[in-house]
A and B are shown apart, each in its own frame.
Chain A
């Protein structure tokens, strides 16, 4: 049974309580886009054997949409995070790379933050600041929402 922790209400919900919503972080093709771009947006999916970013709704709980990073080969969950972002927060990438050091995104998937130096800096930040974020960055519960709140201002 797949269990995901809702980043909003903190409930560890099993899949009967959740509604799957498909691949996450798809960028809608703009009005000027050609047919090929629209086809890619509408139909092409990463469908990876491994790390998958996806949308879920806590349908029989708080009712909110959220994101999850999960392995499609083992059902291992790397973390859940807010729906109010266009790319996974750094903590999620960190959790993925901690478990899958060789992971590289499949075409169409979000790229992890590139330079190693920056990755180290962002990883060090919570420790330096020593607030709630410092605790267990890999834990799925509630924290990723905060990690997102500090991150790059994707929310509007």
Chain B
């Protein structure tokens, strides 16, 4: 792999850009791999990357039904934060956030991580108390957050209406090292690094069955023929239930559609990420100037990658109240992604009833921010066969044992 650098740009400029090579290979599958990872989204590729980097396992295939990063990795609102309430969540999300800080250098791929700060608005007394509690919890966990008052909110983001009649801004939970990153670049960067380590990324290849022998997985059937494997990692977000069905076990997951939309590009007007969970909308401005807006989930099972229209209206209404200056903004695109929701809104990083088969799913509406931490913990789980400290609390057993990591309210995410 030729490294990207300022020198490379100068070199290619002098020879009509003929020297750029493909970022990753697209090989045909080999008959057998040590590890097969299903799902070439951020989490799957990060798992592959850290398997190679941290554990020296490079005979790995990443199989993808569609195209690389074409699922939720390419559909999210790119927010990165780690201000969760529960200790296990704070540990894995903060690990992820800290890995984002050095990801561009690590992967030699510019993921445009922008630690511009994330604020979660408190617009009711109840919410304010919740965020004060989270700020205290974060202080104990070593996650840098603070609760700020409405004046500071206005100072950081002047376009917010802080004294609205119905939901005035009472303060905010502020994480200055949270921010955004370019979501496609995260997938592409990992893919390039994985390919460079000799891993095979096989796109347009759907898994049609999971083969097992004596209670252990031995391979998968795909639309490009059977592939044997020593270990199997299922990292397919919204479609986890379907793959678990093939592998012969059930998951505590329901798939729903989450919507997002993006406006026409305008001049820079906000340099922080704002989440307003009471009225339910969140917004940031991309480097192109588009306002990136996240909306709500449907309450019913849905695999259609489009959401209900009334959620768009609700989200836009909430954001116009919060940011009156966007009332005349045109929306360019709207889309949906299929998110995998667990009962406690925390992910699954776990062994499964099928031997040598591991699952990483249930990230629900907040998977993008977790990609490097999730890959790090999942690689450890797959390589050793036992979870490390980061992954251990997120096993499937917690639902049987009543050991929930309840972020459904605590995360301050209203869905």
Is B242 positioned at the interface, with any CB of A under 8 Å from its CB?
yes
Contact: A20 with B300, CB < 8 Å?
yes
Which of chain B's residues have a CB closer than 8 A to the CB of A47?
Answer: 241, 251, 253-255, 301
Given contacts A43-B252, A45-B241, A45-B252, could you give 8 more A-B pairs where the C-beta distance is less than 8 Å?
A36-B400, A44-B251, A45-B254, A49-B239, A54-B301, A72-B301, A73-B304, A107-B250
Query: Contact residue range for chain A?
Result: 20 to 34
A1-40: CB near B (< 8 Å → 1, else 0) gives: 1100000000000011001101100000000000110111
Query: B303 is contacted by which of A39, A42, A72 (Cβ under 8 Å)?
Result: A72
CA distance A45 to B310 in the complex (A): 26
Contact: B302 with A75, CB < 8 Å?
yes
Contact: A22 with B254, CB < 8 Å?
yes
Going nearest first, the 4 A-B pairs with the smallest beta carbon separation are A43-B252, A47-B241, A20-B299, A20-B300
9 contacts between A and B (CB under 8 A): A15-B310, A20-B299, A39-B399, A39-B400, A45-B250, A45-B254, A54-B300, A54-B301, A72-B255
Which of chain B's residues have a CB closer than 8 A to the CB of A46?
Answer: 241
Given that A1-B309, A36-B400, A39-B399 are known contacts, is A44 also in contact with B299, CB under 8 Å in the complex? no
Is B26 positioned at the interface, with any CB of A under 8 Å from its CB?
no
Which of chain B's residues have a CB closer than 8 A to the CB of A44?
Answer: 250-252
CA distance A25 to B248 in the complex (A): 21
Contact: B310 with A48, CB < 8 Å?
no
- In the complex, number of A-B residue pairs with CB atoms less than 8 Å apart: 70
User: Could you tell me the distance in whole angstroms from the C-beta of B343 to the nearest C-beta in chain A?
Assistant: 5
Is A108 positioned at the interface, with any CB of B under 8 Å from its CB?
yes
CA distance A2 to B302 in the complex (A): 11
Query: B310 is contacted by which of A16, A40, A43, A75 (Cβ under 8 Å)?
Result: A16
> Which of A43, A44, A74, A107 has the most chain B CB within a 10 Å cutoff?
A43
Which of chain B's residues have a CB closer than 8 A to the CB of A54?
Answer: 300-301
Which residues of A are in contact with B by a Cβ distance under 8 Å? 1-2, 15-16, 19-20, 22-23, 35-36, 38-40, 42-49, 52, 54, 70, 72-75, 106-108
Is B102 positioned at the interface, with any CB of A under 8 Å from its CB?
no
> Which of B301, B343, B400 has the most chain A CB within a 10 Å cutoff?
B301
Which of chain A's residues have a CB closer than 8 A to the CB of B251?
Answer: 44-45, 47
Contact: B304 with A74, CB < 8 Å?
yes
Query: Contact residue range for chain B?
Result: 20 to 34
CA distance A2 to B255 in the complex (A): 17
Contact: B253 with A42, CB < 8 Å?
no
CA distance A24 to B220 in the complex (A): 32
Contact: B253 with A75, CB < 8 Å?
no
B157-181: CB near A (< 8 Å → 1, else 0) gives: 0000000000000000000000000
B366-405: CB near A (< 8 Å → 1, else 0) gives: 0000000000000000000000000000000001110000
User: Could you tell me the distance in whole angstroms from the C-beta of B50 to the nearest C-beta in chain A?
Assistant: 28
CB-CB nearest in chain A for B240: A47
Is B28 positioned at the interface, with any CB of A under 8 Å from its CB?
no
CA distance A46 to B301 in the complex (A): 10
User: Could you tell me the distance in whole angstroms from the C-beta of B315 to the nearest C-beta in chain A?
Assistant: 14
> Which of A39, A52, A70 has the most chain B CB within a 10 Å cutoff?
A39
Is B245 positioned at the interface, with any CB of A under 8 Å from its CB?
yes
Which of chain B's residues have a CB closer than 8 A to the CB of A2?
Answer: 300, 308
Which of chain A's residues have a CB closer than 8 A to the CB of B300?
Answer: 2, 15, 20, 54, 70
Which of chain B's residues have a CB closer than 8 A to the CB of A19?
Answer: 299
Which of chain B's residues have a CB closer than 8 A to the CB of A16?
Answer: 310
Contact: A72 with B302, CB < 8 Å?
yes
Which of chain B's residues have a CB closer than 8 A to the CB of A20?
Answer: 298-300
Which of chain A's residues have a CB closer than 8 A to the CB of B309?
Answer: 1
User: Could you tell me the distance in whole angstroms from the C-beta of B236 to the nearest C-beta in chain A?
Assistant: 12
Which of chain B's residues have a CB closer than 8 A to the CB of A1?
Answer: 308-310
CA distance A107 to B242 in the complex (A): 11
Query: A45 is contacted by which of B242, B253, B303, B401 (Cβ under 8 Å)?
Result: B253
Which of chain A's residues have a CB closer than 8 A to the CB of B400?
Answer: 35-36, 38-39
CA distance A35 to B299 in the complex (A): 28
CB-CB nearest in chain B for A108: B250
Query: B301 is contacted by which of A42, A43, A52 (Cβ under 8 Å)?
Result: A52
User: Could you tell me the distance in whole angstroms from the C-beta of B297 to the nearest C-beta in chain A?
Assistant: 11
CB-CB nearest in chain A for B401: A35
CB-CB nearest in chain B for A75: B304
User: Could you tell me the distance in whole angstroms from the C-beta of B244 to the nearest C-beta in chain A?
Assistant: 9
